[in-house]
Amino acid sequence: MKWGRFRDFMLAVVLFLACCALAPSAARSEDCLAPNRLERLGETETAQFWMTLCIPPGNDLYRVEHGRLEDLFWRGDLQVSQPAGYDPAQLGADPDLTVATAWHTDHSHSGAIFDPIVSSILKAAQSKSGNGTFDADIPFNGHVFPVSFESLDGGLLKGTYSAIELSTGQVRTMTFFLRPGGTSGRPHLAICGTKKELRGCTVFANVADQEVLMLVAGYNLDRLFRLSEEIVGKLNAFAILRKSP
């Protein structure tokens, strides 16, 4: 596969993230009894909220500012507050530091990427070999990318796609993680790339029946995916579900 298609793939992911602004929907408003803390995600000026969180004590690192979940930080597997003097340039240079951000998106936008990829992986997984490996043709942005997958513990599927950059001869690699039944019971997908020492994953997830996008960046890809699942698990535990119509 030519490097140009690989580059277009990564560029399309970045552009997709840039275009998908917050799409709030009315959320159920419930009392959140002390000592729990009430937080609402959405448009504070118009009081249109897409999610209401009731956060128990001991989870003070999950904070909302102006209707947006503040960035989350880890040092290794330990969640921490934002490091003093934090500079995004530290990411990758500091192998222990991971940062994540999350926001809401309409499924009509995220599903254009998420649904075909997940469907292709799951269909290919049905014919996997006895050693748990299989190949999947991933459709994206008008191209098809051959990705080699392996089955890991817990039902996790991990795939890699590599291409040679013709101008430098360097090999660029993308990594796919898919847990078919994530923490919310819905598929949990991450598409990850590498730039020098920095790894970054675009994560498609579901929290309390809301479509959520996350961007998780750091040094270790397996950790990035694991922490993205931790975020979804926490938000699902905090979320107050909307009433059925």
Provide the pLDDT for residue 44. 80
Say what the pTM is: 0.81
Q: Is the peptide bond before 35 cis (omega within 30 degrees of 0)?
A: yes
- Banded model confidence at residue 35, pLDDT cuts 50, 70, 90: very high
In a domain, 79, yes or no: yes
In a domain, 44, yes or no: yes
Model pLDDT for residues 185-237, shown as the tens digit of each residue: 789 999 999 887 789 999 999 998 889 999 999 999 999 999 999 999 999 99
In a domain, 195, yes or no: yes
Q: How many residues appear in the chain?
A: 245
Paired with 37 in beta bridges are: 55
In a domain, 245, yes or no: no
Tell me which of 57 and 244 has the higher pLDDT. 57
Tell me which of 97 and 129 has the higher pLDDT. 97
Across the range 119-142, mean pLDDT stands at 88
Give the pair of three-digit tokens for residue 2: 């030519």
Order across the sheet with 48-55: list the strands. Answer: 37-43, 48-55, 239-240
Across the range 64-91, mean pLDDT stands at 90
Across the range 100-122, mean pLDDT stands at 87
Q: Which domain range does residue 126 map to?
A: 3-240
In a domain, 222, yes or no: yes
Provide the pLDDT for residue 1. 45
Over 50: is that where the pLDDT of 15 sits?
A: no
The number of folded domains in the chain is 1
Tell me which of 72 and 185 has the higher pLDDT. 72
